[in-house]
Structure 1
Amino acid sequence: MSDVEFFVTPGYGEMFRDTRHYSQAVRIGDRVEISGQGGWDDDLNFPESLADEIARAFENVERTLAAAGASWQDVVHVNSYHVASAGAAIDPVHAEVMVDQLRTWMPERMPIWTATGVSALAANGMRVEIRVSAVVGD
């Protein structure tokens, strides 16, 4: 059985560990799984712009992956959760910005991706959350 090691993101991850009793990432052998990352700063503030929030969520994914010894270059699967704002569908702006960010962070790789519309996320004002799976050295 591979060793299981848990990680927290420096900054906000330490707060989540202490107040909510969970880790931001787990590494089992060469596989890294991370919890959903929002577009918050270390004080859990969100940008007004949706595009900025999504971009910051991608940055937070990178920070969390790095804590576990991985990067976007190791990502094989992306799950994104979006607060639906256009009726029962995800606003097209979410998809446009997500695709732009995927191309920016993973120009040589096209991961599998599932985008799910939700009615709410864990924090007030949060509009997007991104969770990934990575295989280090793949």
Structure 2
Amino acid sequence: MDEITQAFRNVERTLATAGAGWAHVVHVNSYHVGGLPPEVNDVMVRLYRHYMPNHAPIWTQVGVAALGLPTMRIEIRVTAIVP
């Protein structure tokens, strides 16, 4: 589950680089190799609520066969609107 936590941190760093934060996020897509077993979903929900406690962007979770690298098990993509 450390990979999920790191993915959220990576998104946070990328948002900051663009002058944005989690409060600007309006849509989240998460892609999961191997589907969405309960323990993965539980971690995702906990981190989603941690990083976005005051709003709930649209969230789509998708189980996939593979991602960009063979070692990757999760990818998170967000859309943020910066005023």
Q: What range describes the TM-score normalised by the shorter chain of this pair?
A: over 0.9
Q: How many residue pairs get matched?
A: 83
Amino acid at match of 1:66: A
Gapped regions of structure 1 (runs ≥ 5): 1-50
Gapped regions of structure 2 (runs ≥ 5): none
Q: Which has the larger radius of gyration?
A: 1
Alpha-carbon distance in 2 for matches of 1:75, 1:95: 20
Which of these residues, 101, 115, 123, is aligned with residue 61 of structure 2? 115
Give 3-state SS (helix, strand or coil) of 2:41's partner. helix
Which of these residues, 66, 71, 80, is aligned with residue 21 of structure 2? 71
Alpha-carbon distance in 2 for matches of 1:120, 1:73: 30
The residue correspondences of 1:19-34 to structure 2 (distance < 5 A) are none
Which of these residues, 103, 110, 113, is aligned with residue 49 of structure 2? 103
Q: 1:124 offset after TM fit, Å?
A: 2.1
User: Post-superposition, which runs of at least 4 consecutive aligned residues in structure 1 deviate over 3 A?
Assistant: none
1:55 lines up with 2:1 in the alignment:
no
Which of these residues, 69, 73, 80, is aligned with residue 127 of structure 1? 73
Give 3-state SS (helix, strand or coil) of 1:70's partner. coil
Question: Which gives a bigger RCO, structure 1 or 2 (Cα 8 Å, sep 6+)?
Answer: 2
Q: Name the % identity.
A: 58
Structure holding more helix per residue = 2
Alpha-carbon distance in 1 for matches of 2:50, 2:5: 10
Alignment partner, residue 14 of structure 1: none
The root-mean-square deviation of aligned C-alpha atoms, in Å, is 1.0
1:80 lines up with 2:26 in the alignment:
no
Alignment partner, residue 37 of structure 2: 91
